[in-house]
Every structure is written in structure tokens, then in C-alpha cells.
Structure 1
Amino acid sequence: VPVQYGLYSSFMGCFVYCFLGTAKDVTLGPTAIMSLLVSSYAFHEPVYAILLAFLSGCIQLAMGLLHLGFLLDFISCPVIKGFTSAASITISFNQIKNILGLQGIPRQFFLQVYETLRRIGETRAGDAVLGLACLAALAGLRVMKGRLPRPARAEPLAARVSYLIVWTSTTARNALVVLFAGLVAYSFQVMGSQPLTLTGSIPQGLPAFRLPCFSMAAPNGTIPFRSMVEDMGVGLAVVPLMGLLETVAIAKAFASQNDYRIDPNQELLAMGFANILGSFVSSYPITGSFGRTAVNAQSGVCTPAGGLVTGALVLLSLAYLTSLFYYIPKAALAAVIISAVVPMFDAGIFRTLWRVKRLDLVPLCVTFLLCFWEVQYGIVAGVLVSGILLLYSIARPPIKVSEGDVLLVQPGSSLHFPAIEYLRDAMCSRALAASPPRAIILDCRHISSIDYTVVVGLAELLRELRKHGLSLAFCSLQDPVLQVLLSADLEGFQHFPSQEEA
């Protein structure tokens, strides 16, 4: 779609998320991933893209109203760490082409690496010098802010004013660097030579506030709403779900880093309203932006009200300042993004998980590696692997077996239908292998819930043990479990308050 639709998609989400979002750092807007998905299902037609935003928002809003946010809790910490570490690398490398002044570099990471290295001889000296200078300035200002001592109240006024000037400069370092680079580019333009790659012309003017079109004019007639929905097909599920996954993964990452919590249901509502209202101003589907969110966090944004400033600046720029954007060098913008996302790479998480729980390295590495292919595939694969590991722990609960005059079996967690065959096999094999075969006491102190399949399995276990002349007694049953077993009226069911009585 035309370039201005990117700007149309950049302000409404900021305003809505400021009032409804729960993460202070997150910025909603167009992203590379979402743009690629929309291009697949909107056929490069703005009318389709805007309608997709409206319908995606309706789906997300419905999920929020139905309190389906708990589904997003299945995005585990290793998945988030894998995503943020990979995203910091891919986004940084994606900006290297702008630092070097290269054109026509593909978006896919591995092709990007290959093409950048192959064409590194085409580097524009002006872009490279400016980009590296901006990176050095941003790094220096960031270090300076971290080491800046707070002046005491007894300090002279001049010292306090100096501190305020330095603090403001280091906090607003991104804006200062871009402003300085723009002045350099303008100076070269005035002198008649331009060694820098500039942002270029952007159409000026605000979009009209109106309902999205529910039909589209075509050369051979009008495409009705139903046909448009059928054309978008599976995109109506993929786009809203991927938008949610990306936004929540980003929100959780920055919430963990900056020590606050998010509400998944509220995030669903915020995303839904943002996309619905965004479609009224010609926005295509939006999601959380990792790069812009990182810039927000590194700039010292303390509340969601930062979204008001961002949205207002986009509107102001659309209305009056698009001509000034022409002179902003791409290398300076790339330096700002790189300096914001690089600190998100967490090399220590690999060592930590190796020490704490090595199995969690599996979803971490799956997410990390697949995110280099496509971010959405990495997140989905990581969630699936985490789910499989979770299901495996349910299907194979820890079982402690103590042998004595009787066989004491103590499951370490609640029993659900995938685990009953495993429990039956463990109990029968140990009881019958003992010499002589022994009765069994099932200690249920750690079992807080069971389902009907478990009840059926326990009934079959009782029958099997009776055939071999063995008994099974239950002890330390919690009330909910006891009520289920009593209601099932199991033949031969015996229960006792403690192990000793059993």
C-alpha cells in the first residue's frame, strides 16, 4: 500500500493504548511482521487492509470480553527470552543496511546477512561515518546517564542547573542525535552535495475519520462484504492472533525487565479497540513494535502517557512537518534503533537455564533459532514446545514408591487422564514383582483434583489387583477428590485419614 498508510497506522494505537494498555513501554503501530502478513491477505489493496484491521479488532475485543487472556499465559519466560534475544539481533542487523547506505537488501534475515556481506564493497562512506558517529554518541550519552551523580540540595544553583542540562541531554539523546544528523544533512543539501541517504518525501495531510468500506469497487462490478471476507479467509484468524502474540510477548519482556505486571485480558481489549478505531482513520492492523518499544524504554518513558506524546507528534508531523522529515538521514534512525534493541539481548539466560533447569533450554533455543527465520514462527513453535513439555509433566507425574510390609505409592501432583495408565502400570508392576506380592496404599495428599478418566482407571486397577488377591487402600484424600470417588461408588473402595490407619 502507499507509504502514507504506515503513518496513518502509527497514531491511533498510541492514543488508545495510553488509556487501556497495561504496559508503560509498549508502543502500538505498524511492524514488518504485521505488514508482511497483511500483504498476504489484503492483496496490496488499502480497502482490504483497512477492513482486515476492523475485523481483527472485533475478534481481539471479543476475546477480551470473554476473558480469554489466560491463553496468553502459555507464553513462558524461556519463549519470551528467546524471542527478545533473537529480535534484538535481527532488528539490529536489519538496520545495518541503512548504516552502510545499501539499497535493495531483502527482509529475510539469512538472505539479509548474505546480501549485506556480498555487497559490503558498495558501502556509502557518508552514511557509514554518520551512522557510526551516531552509535558512538548514543552509547556515550547512555553511559553518561548511568553514571551521572545526583546533586545534593546544598549544591550551588549552577551545579543543579548543569545537572539538569546534562540529564535532559542524556535522556533525550535519541531526539538530539536525529536532530543533529538532520542539520548535517540539510547543510550538505544547501552546499549542493548530498553524501547521505535521506528519508525522502512523505505525502502531507491527515486521513479522514470514517467507517471502513464494507465493499470495494472493481472494474467488473462491486466486491461485496461477504466476498471480501471469503478472500481474506484464514487471515482473519492469523492476523489478530499473531498481533496478540507479538504484543504480549513484547509487553511481558519489558514488564519483566522494568519490574511491573501486565493484564492479558486488558491487553486484548486495548488491541481490539486500537484496531477498530484505527480502521476509522485508514489504518491497517497494528501490533506491538519491538523497536519503538525499546526506544521508548531507553528514552526513559515512565508511564503509558508517553503514547499521547508519540501519537500527537505523528499527527503534528502528518499535518505540518512531513517536509522536514525529508532531511533525516536513514543512518541516524538506524543508529537509534540499534542502540535501543541491543541491550535486550540476554546472553546470561542460556547459562542460567543450564544451571537451573536444562529442559527449559528446549523452548528457549527453538524460539531463538526459528525467530531468525520468521518471528511469528519462532513464537508459535516456542509456545507449542512449552505446551508439549507441560503436557508431558501432566502425563508423567512424579511417583514416589516406598517398599515395606505394603507398597506405599505417593504421586507428586494431581492426576489427569493422560497419567492414569502410567500410574496403573507403575503400581501393578511393582506390586506383582515383589516377593511375595504386596498390597498397595495410595497416598493422595498431593492430589487436589482428578477427572472421570482417572476414576475409570482406578476402578479397573481395583479389579485387576483383586484378581491377584491384593488390596488397594487410599489415604490422606483431599475433600474434592474424596467426593468424586465416593460419587463414583467404586467397588472395593477403602479410604483412611492417614498412612498409619491405612
Structure 2
Amino acid sequence: MPSPVNALGQARSSRSNMAPDTCCCSAVALQRRLPILAWLPDYSLQWLKMDFIAGLSVGLTVIPQALAYAEVAGLPPQFGLYSAFMGCFVYFFLGTSRDVTLGPTAIMSLLVSFYTFHEPAYAVLLAFLSGCIQLAMGFLRLGFLLDFISCPVIKGFTSAATVTIGFGQIKNLLGLQNTPRQFFLQVYHTFLSIGETRVGDAVLGLVCMVLLLVLKLMRDHVPPVHPEMPPGVRLSHGLVWTATTASQNNYRVDANQELLAIGLTNVLGSLVSAYPVTGSFGRTAVNAQSGVCTPAGGLVTGALVLLSLDYLTSLFYYIPKAALAAVIIMAVAPLFDTKIFGTLWRVKRLDLLPLGVTFLLCFWEIQYGILAGTLVSLLILLHAVARPKTQVSEGLVLVLQPASGLHFPAIETLREAVLKRALEGPPRRCVVLECTHVSCIDYTVVLGLGDLLEELHRQGAALVFVGLQVPVLRALLAADLKGFQHFSTLEEAEKYLQQDPGTQPYDSCDDPAPEHKIALLKA
């Protein structure tokens, strides 16, 4: 043990060494809250050029989408643009990704329509309240809660939302009136009223869908741009590519910082009559594929949206609903993942359960589908914890090896398995619990193992432990279990048990170094 003088000197040395790190950590913490401080000092003219092109591309994409998504939310078209620019400016300061763009999306618009009853005032209030909740979650660092929503739940939700949004636009595509909001009633009413289709609306909508499909095919087969191409050809190539990009971009971001950015966007957006927004899959892909370098591209997008509001608002009234319906259907169609069902069938069929539950219940109510799917996923996870797989080796000595940690829901199952196999017939067999894969245990498990030791001893058998990790060994030693024996290798344990267990005192512990036990307990 070091002397008090040495300890004091070490403490002073540690504080002096930590002083620069503390300042560095403060700077890092500030950059984490204001990511603009990390990239702005190195900003260059080349980045400005690329950000301007990307911002212009996203702006040309967001304007028609925002108008269309306002229809999904049950609001006048201009509210889509009211919601499309605030996120551009907020994310410039707070965003952690150069690619992500915030604004109205199809799925968020669908959720808004469920709670606002086509009333703009309710939509604005919803933006403010949801923003406050998101800010609170970001400050409390609750982004980890997203880890409990599994991929099958997300896929089931997005696929169901795609069907709901797409079919919900059939009424506008065909010019039908007074269609119910609930999905199943909507399907029934649409087929019941199919004879009331307006030919002009149907033709216009189908022509728009075919045009968008042709543009998509052109993008897929258009040759790459070469510097020697004439300027007009390069411009037309860029316009076709910009107008037809709806792919997803896998970008990992800081969940807590994103909550802060989205929350502040919604709070400030409510001041300019915006409804709730979030990150957009499609426009994020446009941003990334346009070569964006920093979140500064959002400034161009936001400015373009504001210009549209200033000069084009009076023209929004004349936009045909059938044309907007075609834009929405073609925008959400790629979100339906047709391959996920086959993939899960091959990888893990049990994951089809939360996906199916989420998918089906989302047609009733979106929020119930997400909640039910998440609960099913958690139940599957808890079942794995409560019934961990255990490898069993039969012989004169019974060896059980749990495949994962031991937690309180699993101890009763383990106890029954040990007693059944060890005492099922003469002669009684001793048991080795191989704990190489067990990294942690709780108090209930410790009590259960103590009861198991006593039960086997009363029946003329024994239980020993092998491969205990330090935290597990420390917990078992601290409990001072009667008859607790542990060994480093399986061979040592089997050699010990092949002797007559009755010759060993029940309260003995095979620990050749008592000081080692004391050190473990103090550690």
C-alpha cells in the first residue's frame, strides 16, 4: 500500500495531467452539441460548390413532395412548404450528418392525419408538443430507447404505412369523394364507389405515374456524365437524375443529438405554422448522391423553399389532386420491402412474428401496430433470457454449459434441469456447471444456486463450478454458499467428483489460497 505522501503526490500528478484533457473534453462536448464548430473552420470553396449543387437538388425534390405530403396529412398544400424549410436551418447548426435532411415525410404525414382531424391548428400544436418531448428525450439522453425497436418492427411499420398511404391516394387518383379515414372502411368505400370515378382525374393521375416511372427508368439506364459532354447534355442529365432519385441511405448518427435537432425544428416550426417533421429517406439519398459535403447544403434548400412560398403560393390552388396523388404513390412505393419476408424466413423465422403483428395492426391504427410489435420483440428477447440454451454432456459426471448469462427468470428452469438429470435414476450423478459463457449473475440466481447445492447434497450428489469469470466468482464468494466448490478446468472438477463426494466435508471450499478469496471480495 503506498504511503500517504506518495498517494498525495500521485493525486496531484493525476490532476495536473488531466487538466488539458478536461479542457479538451469540454471542447469535444461543445462540438457534440454544436457540430457546426467541427466542420466550419475547415470550410472551403470546393465544399461550397458541392453543397450548393446538393442543396439545389434537394430543394427541387422537396417542393413537390412537401405539397403532396400535406395532402396525406389532410392539410392545405402550403402547409407542406411551411414545414419544409425550418429543419434546413436548424440542422445547419445541430446536425450530426452531412446527408440527412429534415422535413415533411409520407409516414409522418400519415401519423399527423390521425390526430389533427384535418385542422391546421391541431397540426401546429402537435408540432410544438412533439418537439418539446423530443427535446426532453435528447437532453435526458434517451436515444437508447430506439435500440428496443427491432428491424422487423420497423420494416412491418413502413410496409404497412406504404400500403395505407398508397391506397389512401386512390380516392384522389380516381376523383372519389367522402372516403372514410379508417383503412378497412376506406377499402370498402373505394370499391363501392368505383363507378363514380372521374375519367379526367383518372387519366391525369395515370399519365403522371407513367411519366414518373419513365423518368425512373431513364435514371437507371442513363450513361454516366463525362466532362467532354456538351453543357446542354450534362444539364439535362442532371435534371433527369435529380427528378428521379426515392433510394434509402444507411447513415449512422448520434441518436440523442438528432433528437435535439428534430425537437428544436418542430418547436420553431410550430411558430411558422409547420406540422411535425422528421428525417427523409429519399431526400437524404438525393443529398448524399449529389455530393454534399456539409449540412450547409440545407441553407440552399431552405432558401429555395422560402422563395417558392413567396412567389408560388397563389398557384398552389390549381395543382390537381390527381397529380399530387401520383407523386405520393411513386414516392412511397419503394418503401415497401418485398424481400424482407423471404429474408427473415431464411435467417430467423421467429422474427416474422413481430413483423407480422406490426404489419397487420398498423392497418387498424399505426401506433398500436408499433407498440404491439415492440412488445412481441421484447417478449421474444425475454424468453431467450428466461430459457437460455444449455449444452448437456452425459456421462458418469453430468456437465451443463449455459450458452449465455444467468438471470433470475432462468434459475428455476436450470434448477429443474439439473435435478431431473442428476437424480432421474440410480446411481445419483454429480453435476458440473460449466460457466465459461456466464459473465454476470444476480442475487436471485445466487440464492437459487445455494438451494440447488443443498438439494443435491441431501440426495447424495454434488455440484461444482468450472470456468467462473471474476465478477461471477466474486458474487458467489461474497454469498458464502455452503458447499461451494470451483475449479479452473473441467478435468480438475471431474477428477474431484469421481472420488467419493461423501468423504468431503459439506462446508468445505476448494480454494487453496484463502487470501485470493479475500482479494476478490475486496476488488
Residues 158-307 of structure 1: pairs in structure 2 closer than 5 A? 159-161=229-231, 163-173=233-243, 257-284=248-275, 286-288=276-278, 293-294=281-282, 297=285, 307=298
Partner of 1:359: 350
Q: CA deviation at 1:280?
A: 3.3
Counterpart secondary structure, 2:160:
helix
Q: 1:445 aligns with which of 431, 436, 445?
A: 436
8 Å contact kept, 2:430–2:463: yes
Counterpart secondary structure, 1:500:
helix
8 Å contact kept, 2:129–2:267: yes
Matched, 1:59 2:129: no
Letter in 2 for 1:288: T
Q: Measure the CA separation in 2 of the matches of 1:345 and 1:49.
A: 27
Q: CA deviation at 1:298?
A: 6.5
Letter in 2 for 1:102: L
Q: Measure the CA separation in 1 of the matches of 2:204 and 2:113.
A: 30
Residues 68-467 of structure 1: pairs in structure 2 closer than 5 A? 68-152=142-226, 157=228, 159-161=229-231, 163-173=233-243, 257-284=248-275, 286-288=276-278, 293-294=281-282, 297=285, 307-467=298-458
Q: Measure the CA separation in 2 of the matches of 1:381 and 1:115.
A: 28
Q: CA deviation at 1:38?
A: 4.3
Q: CA deviation at 1:440?
A: 0.6
Counterpart secondary structure, 2:490:
coil
Q: Measure the CA separation in 2 of the matches of 1:134 and 1:319.
A: 26
Count, aligned residues? 413
Structure 2 CA distance for partners of 1:28 and 1:459, relative to 1, 3 Å: farther
What's the CA shift string for 1:350-377, capped at 9, x where partnerless?
A: 1111111110100111111112222222
8 Å contact kept, 2:216–2:244: no
Structure 2 CA distance for partners of 1:21 and 1:369, relative to 1, 3 Å: farther
Q: Measure the CA separation in 2 of the matches of 1:329 and 1:51.
A: 28
What's the TM-score once normalised by structure 2's chain length?
A: 0.72
8 Å contact kept, 2:112–2:123: no
Q: CA deviation at 1:7?
A: 5.0
8 Å contact kept, 1:396–1:419: yes
Letter in 1 for 2:434: D
8 Å contact kept, 1:27–1:293: no
Percent of aligned positions that are identical: 60
Letter in 2 for 1:110: F
Partner of 1:35: 112
Letter in 1 for 2:357: V
Q: CA deviation at 1:349?
A: 1.1
- The structure 1 segments of at least 4 consecutive aligned residues displaced by more than 6 Å after TM superposition are none
Structure 2 CA distance for partners of 1:139 and 1:283, relative to 1, 3 Å: closer
Q: CA deviation at 1:61?
A: 1.6
Q: Report which stretch shifted further, 109-118 or 387-396.
A: 109-118
Q: Report which stretch shifted further, 490-499 or 29-38.
A: 29-38
Partner of 2:469: 478
Structure 2 CA distance for partners of 1:107 and 1:135, relative to 1, 3 Å: same
Structure 2 CA distance for partners of 1:104 and 1:13, relative to 1, 3 Å: farther
Q: Measure the CA separation in 2 of the matches of 1:126 and 1:416.
A: 65
What's the CA shift string for 1:301-354, capped at 9, x where partnerless?
A: 665556545543443333332112122222222212211211221211111111
Q: Measure the CA separation in 2 of the matches of 1:82 and 1:301.
A: 30
What's the TM-score once normalised by structure 1's chain length?
A: 0.75
Q: Measure the CA separation in 2 of the matches of 1:49 and 1:166.
A: 39
What's the CA shift string for 1:220-274, capped at 9, x where partnerless?
A: xxxxxxxxxxxxxxxxxxxxxxxxxxxxxxxxx97xx423223322222122212
Structure 2 CA distance for partners of 1:165 and 1:56, relative to 1, 3 Å: closer
Structure 2 CA distance for partners of 1:135 and 1:71, relative to 1, 3 Å: same
Structure 2 CA distance for partners of 1:346 and 1:55, relative to 1, 3 Å: closer
Q: Measure the CA separation in 2 of the matches of 1:302 and 1:118.
A: 48
Counterpart secondary structure, 2:404:
coil
Q: Measure the CA separation in 2 of the matches of 1:308 and 1:378.
A: 36
Structure 2 CA distance for partners of 1:326 and 1:51, relative to 1, 3 Å: closer
Structure 2 CA distance for partners of 1:312 and 1:38, relative to 1, 3 Å: farther
Q: Measure the CA separation in 2 of the matches of 1:331 and 1:106.
A: 18
What's the CA shift string for 1:169-196, capped at 9, x where partnerless?
A: 3224369xxxxxxxxxxxxxxxxxxxxx
Structure 2 unaligned spans of 5+: 1-73, 494-523
What's the CA shift string for 1:426-468, capped at 9, x where partnerless?
A: 1111111143111110000011111111111111111111111
Structure 2 CA distance for partners of 1:2 and 1:90, relative to 1, 3 Å: closer
Structure 2 CA distance for partners of 1:500 and 1:174, relative to 1, 3 Å: closer
Letter in 1 for 2:208: C
Q: Measure the CA separation in 2 of the matches of 1:322 and 1:44.
A: 19
Q: Measure the CA separation in 2 of the matches of 1:404 and 1:103.
A: 76
Letter in 2 for 1:330: K
Structure 2 CA distance for partners of 1:14 and 1:80, relative to 1, 3 Å: same
8 Å contact kept, 1:78–1:364: yes
Q: CA deviation at 1:10?
A: 4.1
Q: CA deviation at 1:390?
A: 0.5
Counterpart secondary structure, 1:391:
helix
Q: Measure the CA separation in 2 of the matches of 1:79 and 1:301.
A: 31
